[in-house]
Amino acid sequence: MSDRLMGVETEYAIGGMQGEEAADHPTIIRHLLDLAHTSLPNLQDGSSSGLFLQNGARLYLDCGMHMEFSTPEVSNPWDAVRYVEAGHDTMLSLIQRVAQDRIPETQIGCYRVNVDYSGTGSTWGCHESYLHRMPPADLPRDLIPHLVTRQIYAGAGGFEPFSSGLKFTLSPRAAHIDRTTSFDSTNARGIFHSKNEPLCSGYNRLHVICGESLCSHLAMFVKFGATSLVLAMAEAGLAPGSAVELDSPLSALRIVSGDLTLKRPLKMKGQIHRMTALDIQRRYLTMAEDHSRDTFMPLWAPDVCREWRRILNALDSGLDAAAKMLDWPMKLLLFASHAARREMDWSRLPLWNAIIERMHRAMELPRNGEIFPLERAISPGSPIPELARRIEAFLLRKGLDWDELRLILKLRAEFFEIDTRFGQLGPRGIFAMLDQDGILEHHVSGVDNIEHATRNPPGRSRARIRGAVVSRLAGYEEGRWVCYWDRIFSQKYGRMLDLSDPFAMSEVWSNIPKEEAS
């Protein structure tokens, strides 16, 4: 059976309050990095803000002052979920200690979120990496239909961040994807990321940037596992995407992210008939099941296929079962319940959002997600008086009025706070509270020993060696040893550990050539 490696990078949103005032973000980050450096066994990665840890992972400050945790290379989706959770535990421990020891009387929150609702246009990434040996240029046809449609189980749920209304979406991150393919990952983001940075020898690396941070273990498990199997089938020459090519992937991404029914048909390339996102995912799954025990597939393929089918069946039968299993159905039920408590008719949101968007366009307002200026739009000095009168007449015929829209706009901030707090790390997070109460059914058998994973590397990749060496050398003549994904070396001692083989299982040290050591 084929071995496969994968990894996950999670960016965290961090914020704090000192009394009624916002705590200084750079100060929090500075203390967090200093605490990580002094309290966690580590080797620096050559930068001033990056550390490799004893479990083989990397913790560092990314662009935009985002803290990021990259899991070690893992060989199965159980470990992928396990080490994502280990990253959460590591971050939470650091945050709690910063609040207690470094900045007293400060409340600091750490969040696995995907978009910023304040109007900054920021998005936090959750990137995936998959090792493969296929020519990268041949991958888009097979992977893009999968990446577009896996939102139905891998979407985090939330609100369209650039809407001035309150528009629920399966994937808030999708609003930040504006290309079919791209080389960049911070601007002009693509469904398929064409950058190939293997960080090893003899392999290529699929880097997925259109995904999201999730809370559900089951959603993560199937996201990592299914994408690995699609890649394995493509690598084996089965062309899994050939029968499901989308006519316009970017348009399909928008349709799927906004389709709560999962029934909207997508236009297929060169075909008269159309397929839903569920149809496309079932096509991929059926092929994976047919080949699950082939030699090019990993041993865990049947396990992933079983959970993949269970999720699709649950989604196909309605959202009641999925609301205990997957992030976006959980949030949809949570938001609808909150709307009922606030006497807001959740079912009429699509109508109100359409009205807001129509008036928004007529007023030529920027697409930044700010609250729609309703009072200005319907006042005697309205810049769109004729449209406002027509809409008001329509509302009267339907027994509606502007007060309902005022309520929706007033409650936007509450819904955004709920979405943000859903992914908060620690016991105050809404997801954590629901999980603690036994309401959810998202756990996957075999995803366990999280605390052990914070201190120990996985066993079937070079991460095992990296973690062991980090543990051994941490604190030994600080700064003399530098760690990267593919090597550890010391200029002082002229020694280097070669980790260019991602499946390396033994330490291979060598002398650094004198010309390089100097």
What are the tens digits of pLDDT across the range 459-504?
A: 989 999 999 999 999 988 777 999 999 999 998 899 999 999 999 9
Largest CA distance in the chain: 85
Model confidence band, residue 39 (pLDDT cutoffs 50, 70, 90): very high
pLDDT at res. 514: 65
Cα 188–Cα 193–Cα 195 angle in degrees, nearest 5: 105
pLDDT digits (tens, 9 = 90+) for 384-434: 999 999 999 999 999 999 999 999 999 999 999 999 999 999 999 999 999
HEC letters along 30-90 = HHHHHHHHHHCCEEECCCCCEEEECCCCEEEEECCCEEEEECCCECCHHHHHHHHHHHHHH
Domain ranges of the chain: 343-419
Q: What is the mean pLDDT of residues 84-113?
A: 95
Question: What's the mean pLDDT when you consider all of the chain?
Answer: 95
> What does the alpha-carbon distance between residue 323 and residue 303 come to, in Å, rounded to a whole number?
22
**Residue whose C-alpha is closest to residue 338's, from 239, 459, 430:** 430
Alpha helices, DSSP H, located in 236-275: 249-258
HEC letters along 315-380 = HHCCHHHHCCCCHHHHHHHHHHHHHHHCCCCHHHHHHHHHHHHHHHHHCCCCCCCCCCCHHHHHCC
Provide the whole-model pTM.
Answer: 0.96
Q: What is the mean pLDDT of residues 78-86?
A: 98
Q: What is the CA radius of gyration of the chain?
A: 24
**Residue whose C-alpha is closest to residue 508's, from 516, 497, 518:** 497
User: DSSP character for 512?
Assistant: P
SS3 213: coil
User: DSSP character for 138?
Assistant: G
Residue from 3, 34, 45, 62 carrying the catalytic annotation: 62
pLDDT tops 90 at residue 156: yes
For the chain, percent of residues with pLDDT exceeding 70: 99
pLDDT at res. 2: 66
Return the residue matching tokens 């309150």: 166
**Residue whose C-alpha is closest to residue 470's, from 74, 87, 7, 52:** 52
Residue 497, Cβ neighbours under 10 Å: how many?
Answer: 21
* Known active-site residue 24: no
> What does the alpha-carbon distance between residue 145 and residue 130 come to, in Å, rounded to a whole number?
17
Contact between 87 and 71 (Cβ < 8 Å):
yes
